[in-house]
Structure 1
Amino acid sequence: MSNMKGRSLQLAITISSGSAYLLFGYDQGVLGGLVSEPSFLSAMGNPSSFYLGIIVALFNIGCLGGCLIAGLWGNYLGRKRTIVWGCLTMIVGGIIQASSYGSGQLIAGRIVSGIGNGLNTSTVPVYVSETSRSAVRGRSLAIQMSIVIFGTVVAYWLDFGMIRTQTGEVVWRFPLAFQDVFALITVVTMPLLPESPRWLYSKGRKDEAVDSLTRLMDLPDDHGDITVIVAEMEQAVALEQSDSRLTVKSLFFDKTDMKNGRRLVLCFMLQLFQQFTGINVIAFYVTIVLETNVGLSREMSSLVAGFIQIAFWAGTFPPIALMDRLGRRKVLMLGSTMLCIAMVLFTVGVALETPPSSRLALGMLIIYEISFGMSWNSVPWLYAPEITPLNLRHLGAAVGCFSEWLWTFIIALMTPAAIENTGWRIYLLFCFMIALSVPFVYFFLPETSGKSLEEIDYIFVKDRAPVPNMFSTANSSCVDMQLKLEGESNMVENVDV
């Protein structure tokens, strides 16, 4: 693997980082299918439903902690080492969970696993973005997010199969232990892969950065494309070092040329809108929704929930082909439109409480899952590392993940009580937020597809332009890049709204 180049190396990166992301999806979903298993409840001391909800939700608190660690020390450790430490932490958490003989031990294991997951989810998108070509960066991250949802599908159906074919504590101990397999794959393979050339360059390790870049692109170090990217990285580092001020005040009154505060706010807000599509209401409590709102029996709800998860996974395939062709903005706005229609009709269906309206609600639920998988599932995870400058990219990804886990935790806690006390009215909140996401994307998010990570700086830094003579080694590539930059003025205006 250490001798791989070009496409074979990109495939190895996809497999290694994808295994860490499959673990992300698996660990999110594995406990949800086990919380009603009698042997599991007995081992945990038969906790109340509220306490059980706390046990499930505390995983997200661990994830918040992992995001903070990644934000503080991720740039020091580097992309690869942060991911390896994240997986090692999740292995320890998996062992603690699988060997649990009480709720306290399980909570400890959940929090430890959450910390590792927070490290991974903050870093894997950055690593994938920084090791992918500009033209396929969206596709690379879309593949990773498809793997995440596949992990959730694996967890659900493994739980389903174990419950129906096995007895005793193996029913829940094996699924909790099985997550360590995915972490081990990443721990073994990640050290054999190249470090991010952008991170190496930012640390002054320029020869290593060029070597990593030549392996990733399978080109000699004097090739024009390599020379252009190296010059872009050099200029980006110089630009960021000259204007890297970041304070709490700048998050709200950002007057710097780099607009670092504004970029971090966008990272936070994008994940907020993702969570207020209502996806985790469906992901965590789909069987409750099917029983309470749609009117299915418990057995039928469990079976239908499994096929809804498969529909969700199927929806993650179109972005692999479309995200780089249509662009991030169009994918998000198209997804929001489809999600809004599906959520409105779903709400109408559960509000009417008739057999035909229940079938309408079920159909809209499936369309909703597919629509989310096609749009908001992937783009927010890619967008945060794209729009943040090199010296703050780890922080931008961490801020996005922090927002993700914060709102996931809040929604996970409020949903059972909201469904019980408000019924269908809780879904009106999600209808409103989905509709609001369209103008948010249109006015505040610039397009990033097809641009190098260094070029994206100039969407925000509109008063500066790249120095032409820095790209004299590859004139044609320089001209192409200059034309791109000159054509970005419209998008810059959107950023300044």
Structure 2
Amino acid sequence: MVVVGNIYAITAVSVVGGALFGFDISSMSAIITTPAYKCYFNHGPKGPPFNDDDQCSGLSSLAQGGVTAAMPGGSWLGALISGFISDRLGRKYAIMVGCIIWIIGSIIICASQNMGMLIAGRIINGLSVGIESAQVPVYISEIAPPSKRGRLVGSQQWAITWGILIMYYISFGCSYIGHGNASTSHNYSESVFRIPWGVQMVPAVLLFFGMMILPESPRWLARHDRWEEAQSVLALVHGKGDANSPFVIAEMQEIRDMCEFERANKDVSYMELFHPKMIHRTMTGIWTQIWSQLTGMNVMMYYITYVFNMAGYEGDATLIASSIQYIINVIMTVPALIWVDRWGRRPTLLIGATLMMIWMFANAGIMANYGEVVPGGIGGVAEQSMRLSGAPAKGLIACTYLFVASYAPTWGPVSWVYPPELYPLRVRGKAVALATSSNWAFNTALGLFVPTAFATIRWQTYIIFGVFLATMLVHVFFLFPETAGKTLEETEQIFEDPNGIPYIGTPAWKTSHDTKRTVAAESGDVEVLGEKLAVAEKRTAAHAEEV
């Protein structure tokens, strides 16, 4: 079988797993305000389903929160089990298993007859998204060269944004199907939501067959004593087929040294992640994913139509205005793909948190000072609890767009890039799975919390997220070390620095990156490679003494 060796082609195929998450987000956000969805799944005072009244109130706040939270709830479980699947079957086949699960879940969603079926299908889809979101970054990080790792793993986020945008416009187009069709027993066609929910199977099918021609992670192969295959993959991807390339030889030696040390350790359990020497990096990875949720970005993605309805937009105007933020998300992710390895991880996270905090507090101020409380919500939708008009409404929309533009090149891609860089090979699969599961746990909680928050505490919802952003700014500065430009094995030095803080290592604010040296090493600079090998040998010897 032909095996693809171009790192950009490998990335382009594998990050389709991220598009699955994006498809799911906008398959709900573009549909939850359509009359077809609200009438078919009507749980309001004008139920049962398919009420002919154009003003069907749809699901209650709690019910809609449950439907929305079903997918991240399943993703939490999927991320947790992905570590076992990945360690047993390999990174590549774990991703393929996720594809099969996604197809099954999408079939159930597409055929949903009631809210129970819809929730069940979304939970199954969530299992898939949890596996893909945890293991695609691990797969790419283990196969990518250090100088390109940030942009390549960050492509996961770009794929998510494309998935959101594509599915949003598919859903928007389908919203016109069957409207006012007198030949039906109701005013709206089920195709409005069934077609988008069926189309989302397509990327999973493409990803499944695409993964067949991609190589396995060389580090996973080495961990399982498949050394010849590991060297062949490194030569194919990093040495243009030359197994004697200086960089391939040096990288292979680093992997071999690390694996030899790890032979002294038993099989890894999740408990090892909370060992005193490991807990700092475990919590750093977990908090990276938690903070990415507590920025409030996915809230903007799921419930953006509510925000624009409160700003005075109605019908198609709401959907079109909402789509602009998805376009911004796609475009503004591109700078990170080009420069994130040059910027470094720390500066990117710090700047992103600062800017998002400004826009979040600005939104709170606008709604608090100019918003008019609407009892029962606009159009009977409790979440649309306030109304704005004129300049304040435009200001709210502008700050929302600026928030998305600040998230897209910063926390969006880096939250996927950073966790796989923190862990040694023997625990990476399970550690990233645990970190990603925390993302989905908080995604689930926010999916349940936000509709009720918009309905009850209104503008204060933005204050809560603003405080989260201020807190993460401090946390990142003091405890998130720089990992850009380092091999995954070199990152070990930061956490095991004997002159650093006990159980933490080199203080985060003292860490930095040197992109030029990394590029020189990959180009075969003998002097730089010699220094890297000397450091690796010294570290291996130190490990041996500990054991």
| TM-score normalized with structure 1 length | 0.89
Amino acid paired to 2:279: G
Residues 251-330 of structure 1: pairs in structure 2 closer than 5 A: 254-255=275-276, 259-292=277-310, 294-330=311-347
Residues 366-405 of structure 1: pairs in structure 2 closer than 5 A: 366-405=401-440
1:35 aligns with 2:32: yes
Per the alignment, residue 362 of structure 1 pairs with: 397
Whether the 8 Å contact between 1:68 and 1:402 is mirrored in structure 2 is yes
Return the alpha-carbon distance in structure 2 between the equivalents of residues 141 and 409 of structure 1: 24
Per the alignment, residue 357 of structure 2 pairs with: 340
Per the alignment, residue 507 of structure 2 pairs with: none
Measure how far apart 1:346 and its partner are: 1.9
Whether the 8 Å contact between 2:171 and 2:193 is mirrored in structure 1 is yes
Measure how far apart 1:43 and its partner are: 4.6
Whether the 8 Å contact between 2:353 and 2:472 is mirrored in structure 1 is yes
Whether the 8 Å contact between 2:330 and 2:408 is mirrored in structure 1 is yes
Instruction: Determine helix, strand or coil for the equivalent of 2:160.
Output: helix
The C-alpha deviation readout for 1:122-168, integer Å capped at 9, x for no partner, is 10000111111100000112222111111011111111111024552
1:226 aligns with 2:248: yes
Instruction: Determine helix, strand or coil for the equivalent of 1:30.
Output: helix
| TM-score normalized with structure 2 length | 0.81
Residues 96-495 of structure 1: pairs in structure 2 closer than 5 A: 96-167=108-179, 168-217=189-238, 218-242=240-264, 254-255=275-276, 259-292=277-310, 294-353=311-370, 355-463=390-498, 475-481=526-532
Whether the 8 Å contact between 1:268 and 1:399 is mirrored in structure 2 is yes
Amino acid paired to 1:265: M
The C-alpha deviation readout for 1:21-49, integer Å capped at 9, x for no partner, is 21221122212322344444555464632
Instruction: Determine helix, strand or coil for the equivalent of 1:440.
Output: helix
Measure how far apart 1:18 and its partner are: 2.2
Per the alignment, residue 2 of structure 2 pairs with: 2
Structure 1, 193-202 or 69-78: larger mean CA deviation: 69-78
Whether the 8 Å contact between 2:247 and 2:529 is mirrored in structure 1 is no
Whether the 8 Å contact between 1:336 and 1:434 is mirrored in structure 2 is yes
Amino acid paired to 1:55: V
Whether the 8 Å contact between 2:4 and 2:215 is mirrored in structure 1 is no
Return the alpha-carbon distance in structure 2 between the equivalents of residues 474 and 236 of structure 1: 22
Whether the 8 Å contact between 1:225 and 1:477 is mirrored in structure 2 is no
Return the alpha-carbon distance in structure 1 between the equivalents of residues 270 and 155 of structure 2: 35
Return the alpha-carbon distance in structure 1 between the equivalents of residues 281 and 431 of structure 2: 8
Structure 1, 25-34 or 267-276: larger mean CA deviation: 25-34
Measure how far apart 1:250 and its partner are: 6.7
Aligned residues: 471
- Alpha carbons of structure 1 residues 156 and 385: separation in structure 2 relative to 1, 3 Å: same
Whether the 8 Å contact between 1:244 and 1:260 is mirrored in structure 2 is no
From 17, 20, 28, the counterpart of 1:20: 17
Amino acid paired to 1:11: Y
The C-alpha deviation readout for 1:229-281, integer Å capped at 9, x for no partner, is 011001112333446797888766x43xxx32222111111111111111122
The C-alpha deviation readout for 1:271-305, integer Å capped at 9, x for no partner, is 1111111112211111112223x344454333211
Return the alpha-carbon distance in structure 1 between the equivalents of residues 253 and 528 of structure 2: 11
Whether the 8 Å contact between 1:24 and 1:148 is mirrored in structure 2 is yes
Whether the 8 Å contact between 1:348 and 1:357 is mirrored in structure 2 is no
Whether the 8 Å contact between 2:76 and 2:437 is mirrored in structure 1 is yes
Return the alpha-carbon distance in structure 2 between the equivalents of residues 260 and 239 of structure 1: 16
Return the alpha-carbon distance in structure 1 between the equivalents of residues 354 and 88 of structure 2: 41
Whether the 8 Å contact between 1:228 and 1:474 is mirrored in structure 2 is no
Structure 1: segments with no counterpart, 5+ residues:
465-472, 486-497
Whether the 8 Å contact between 2:28 and 2:68 is mirrored in structure 1 is yes
Return the alpha-carbon distance in structure 1 between the equivalents of residues 431 and 328 of structure 2: 31
Instruction: Determine helix, strand or coil for the equivalent of 1:66.
Output: helix
- Alpha carbons of structure 1 residues 194 and 416: separation in structure 2 relative to 1, 3 Å: same
- Alpha carbons of structure 1 residues 245 and 169: separation in structure 2 relative to 1, 3 Å: closer
Amino acid paired to 2:248: I
The C-alpha deviation readout for 1:85-110, integer Å capped at 9, x for no partner, is 00011011111111222222222211
Whether the 8 Å contact between 1:246 and 1:261 is mirrored in structure 2 is no
- Alpha carbons of structure 1 residues 369 and 287: separation in structure 2 relative to 1, 3 Å: same
Whether the 8 Å contact between 1:342 and 1:365 is mirrored in structure 2 is yes
Return the alpha-carbon distance in structure 1 between the equivalents of residues 38 and 358 of structure 2: 39
Amino acid paired to 2:306: I
The C-alpha deviation readout for 1:53-95, integer Å capped at 9, x for no partner, is 3122111111111112112332111101100000011011111
% identity of equivalent residues: 29
Instruction: Determine helix, strand or coil for the equivalent of 1:214.
Output: helix
Amino acid paired to 1:78: G
Return the alpha-carbon distance in structure 1 between the equivalents of residues 453 and 323 of structure 2: 23
Structure 2: segments with no counterpart, 5+ residues:
42-47, 50-57, 180-188, 372-389, 500-523, 537-547
Whether the 8 Å contact between 2:65 and 2:449 is mirrored in structure 1 is no
Structure 1, 414-423 or 203-212: larger mean CA deviation: 414-423
More helix by share: 1
Whether the 8 Å contact between 1:251 and 1:265 is mirrored in structure 2 is no
Structure 1, 23-32 or 84-93: larger mean CA deviation: 23-32
Measure how far apart 1:397 and its partner are: 1.5
Amino acid paired to 2:80: L
- Alpha carbons of structure 1 residues 378 and 244: separation in structure 2 relative to 1, 3 Å: farther
Amino acid paired to 2:530: V
- Alpha carbons of structure 1 residues 300 and 65: separation in structure 2 relative to 1, 3 Å: same
Return the alpha-carbon distance in structure 2 between the equivalents of residues 362 and 43 of structure 1: 30
Whether the 8 Å contact between 1:251 and 1:262 is mirrored in structure 2 is no
Amino acid paired to 1:481: K
Return the alpha-carbon distance in structure 1 between the equivalents of residues 438 and 406 of structure 2: 22
Return the alpha-carbon distance in structure 2 between the equivalents of residues 445 and 245 of structure 1: 28
Return the alpha-carbon distance in structure 2 between the equivalents of residues 356 and 2 of structure 1: 59
Whether the 8 Å contact between 1:350 and 1:424 is mirrored in structure 2 is yes
Return the alpha-carbon distance in structure 2 between the equivalents of residues 431 and 183 of structure 1: 36
Whether the 8 Å contact between 1:228 and 1:477 is mirrored in structure 2 is no
From 55, 59, 64, the counterpart of 1:48: 59
- Alpha carbons of structure 1 residues 128 and 463: separation in structure 2 relative to 1, 3 Å: same
